[in-house]
Amino acid sequence: MNLRHRAIRCAAEVPARRPEPRPRSTLALAALLLVTVTHATAGDEIEEFWEYDNPAASEQRFRAALGSDGNDRDLELQTQIARTYSLRRRFDEAHRLLDQIQPALPTSSARVRSRYLLERGRTLRSAGDKAAAESLFRQAYDVALGAGEIGLAVDAAHMLALVTPAEAAAAWTDTGISLARSSGDAKARALLPALLNNHAWNLHDAGRFDDALPVFIEAESAWRATGKQPQGRIATWSVARCLRSLGRYHEALTLQRTLEAEWSAGGGSDGYVFEEIAEILDALGRPAEARPYYARAARELGKDPSFVRDEPARLQRLIDRGGR
């Protein structure tokens, strides 16, 4: 589930926001003795071509780079072109391109093979086939880890956490964090903020709010350090949401008010922020102040087709409370 009801389109572009806490068991992470290998290859710059909110522009960058540095790199670039199709829900095109890559895999590098497995898995997951995706993500993890491609192994662990049951998901998240923290791999380190966010939500879902809060704060610091928005604001929203779970309503409200001001200063707004402000004001016994925020949340979130489709009861609740 996604607390803010925002799809996790790649490994980690936008931190998750979940609707309501649900019970999750904890699973101890087995000790891993790993030798961290730092890679500096031409493929590393592939990450710089990505603009996840604009897959069409990303596709053009990948296509422009084709033919510049050997067959393996071209194959790797093509896996990312397939990913741009998947992000646009053009699943048949993504699979066709991956089918074209598949015959070259036996003589390709581990990096290409793990990229291929990741993107085939992501395409299947986005189309709703989590079971098939899980098998591919496991293969990607094994291939990447065995070759010392730590960034891709962390990516696979992160994806496995999105397609496995709760206990296994928590374990995969912990595995990804452990790998990323011990690695100098740029891709692995870049995934750490999202992994921390997921770990925090695992703790939160288990009702371990006191344990979750410092992890949320660490994730917020990591996202803010990247300078990326809206990721930084969503991470702050998650801290405030945990504070509400702890009954620390005034602190939570201060953070959400700050976010409201940040969005407004940038000429935007966030329906999830309005929703949280309303919930906090209600919890503080201030329903008259909460009412317009419920209404604003309903208006903003009602513009999101996926929210309307997947959260009809939640949307109706916002509408009802906004009209009290």
- pLDDT at residue number 226: 87
- Domain assignment present for 102: yes
CA distance 214 to 175: 19
Instruction: Compare 130 and 45 and report the one with higher pLDDT.
Output: 130
- Domain assignment present for 150: yes
CA distance 236 to 239: 5
CA distance 52 to 246: 34
CB 172 within 8 A of CB 161: yes
- pLDDT at residue number 82: 98
- pLDDT at residue number 13: 52
- pLDDT at residue number 159: 96
Residues 6+ away with beta carbon under 8 Å from 181: 192
Q: Is the pLDDT of residue 295 over 50?
A: yes
Q: Is the pLDDT of residue 118 over 80?
A: yes
- Domain assignment present for 108: yes
Share of the chain above pLDDT 70, in %: 85
Give residue 240's identity as a one-letter amino acid code. Answer: A
CB 238 within 8 A of CB 20: no
- pLDDT at residue number 306: 85
CB 177 within 8 A of CB 154: no
Share of the chain above pLDDT 90, in %: 75
Query: What's the rounded mean pLDDT across residues 254-275?
Result: 97
The 10s digit of each residue's pLDDT in 177-232 is: 999 999 989 899 999 999 999 999 989 998 999 999 999 999 999 999 988 889 99
Instruction: Compare 131 and 20 and report the one with higher pLDDT.
Output: 131
3-state secondary structure at position 97: helix
- Domain assignment present for 217: no
3-state secondary structure at position 174: helix
- Domain assignment present for 85: yes
Local confidence band at 315 (pLDDT 50, 70, 90 cut-offs)? very high
- Domain assignment present for 146: yes
- pLDDT at residue number 42: 43
- pLDDT at residue number 14: 54
Give the domain range for residue 82. Answer: 39-172
Query: What's the rounded mean pLDDT across residues 155-165?
Result: 95
- pLDDT at residue number 41: 42
Q: What is the CATH number of the domain that holds 76?
A: 1.25.40.10
- pLDDT at residue number 45: 75
Local confidence band at 267 (pLDDT 50, 70, 90 cut-offs)? very high
> What is the chain's mean pLDDT, rounded?
87
Residue 49 CB neighbour total at 10 angstroms = 18
- List the structure tokens of 31: 């000790």
Query: What's the rounded mean pLDDT across residues 56-60?
Result: 95
- Domain assignment present for 218: no
Say what the pTM is.
0.75
- pLDDT at residue number 35: 27
3-state secondary structure at position 133: helix
- Domain assignment present for 143: yes
Q: How many residues does the chain have?
A: 324
Local confidence band at 57 (pLDDT 50, 70, 90 cut-offs)? very high
Please count the structural domains in the chain.
Answer: 1
- pLDDT at residue number 70: 66
- pLDDT at residue number 17: 59
CB 53 within 8 A of CB 92: no
